[in-house]
Amino acid sequence: MKKPSKINKKYTFFLLLMITIIILMQIYGHEIKKPIKEIFESDLLGVILWGYIIGTFCIHKLIYGTTTLKSDSFILKHFGSYADLCFGMTTYGLAGTTSLALLKGLYLQQYFNSIYFIGFASFDLVSMFLLSSFLLVYCIFNTSILLTEIMFYGETAKVETQP
């Protein structure tokens, strides 16, 4: 087995950050619950998420146009690139805010004895948490890929797709 020659600073930092967060949550868990509840109950997360998605999609459309869209996309073929943009923004925004709403309900039900999901067993609530978390991360991750393309945009020759 080959020994690594250098320490990967980025991943080491994230590992230490995660360990620190876990330790702080174990020590100060009760004090952290209320600020998290206030954040969930405000509309701030939804506004930030929608702003992030709409801003990133629109700027990506301005820079790249239709050059990075798949030519076999059903929406692009039949309705055009602006419809593809609108459907993409709407899908990611609705999926993200729905995930936030479900996670808010799960959090408040788990830690503040509110009842949001009547008749759900603990297995159902855990699976709802996992699916909602995955969907939220998926939306943010795919939007971040577009943001990365914007941030590292270089003037290159544009490739045109043909139907």
Q: What is the pLDDT of residue 3?
A: 66
The pLDDT tens digits of the residues spanning 121-142 come to 999 999 999 999 999 999 999 9
Cα maximum dimension of the chain: 59
Q: What is the pLDDT of residue 10?
A: 85
User: For the whole model, what pTM was predicted?
Assistant: 0.75
The phi and psi torsions of 13 (rounded to 5 degrees) equal -60, -45
Q: What is the pLDDT of residue 61?
A: 87
How far apart, in Å, are the Cα atoms of 146 and each of 25, 32, 79? 32, 33, 22
Report the phi/psi class of residue 25: left, alpha or beta, with left for phi > 0 and alpha for psi in -120 to 50.
alpha
Q: What is the pLDDT of residue 82?
A: 76
Per-residue pLDDT tens, the chain, 163 aa: give them.
566 668 888 889 999 999 999 999 899 988 888 898 999 999 899 999 999 999 999 998 888 875 544 555 666 666 667 777 888 899 999 999 999 999 999 999 998 888 899 999 999 999 999 999 999 999 999 999 999 988 987 665 555 666 6
For residue 111 the two structure tokens come to 């830690």
How far apart, in Å, are the Cα atoms of 108 and each of 40, 70, 114, 141, 154? 9, 41, 6, 25, 45
Q: What is the DSSP letter of 117?
A: S
One-letter amino acid for residue 81 of the chain = S
Q: What is the DSSP letter of 69?
A: S
Distance of CA 81 to the CA centre of its chain: 23
Separation between Cα atoms, residue 90 and residue 107, nearest integer Å: 25
Q: What is the pLDDT of residue 87?
A: 87
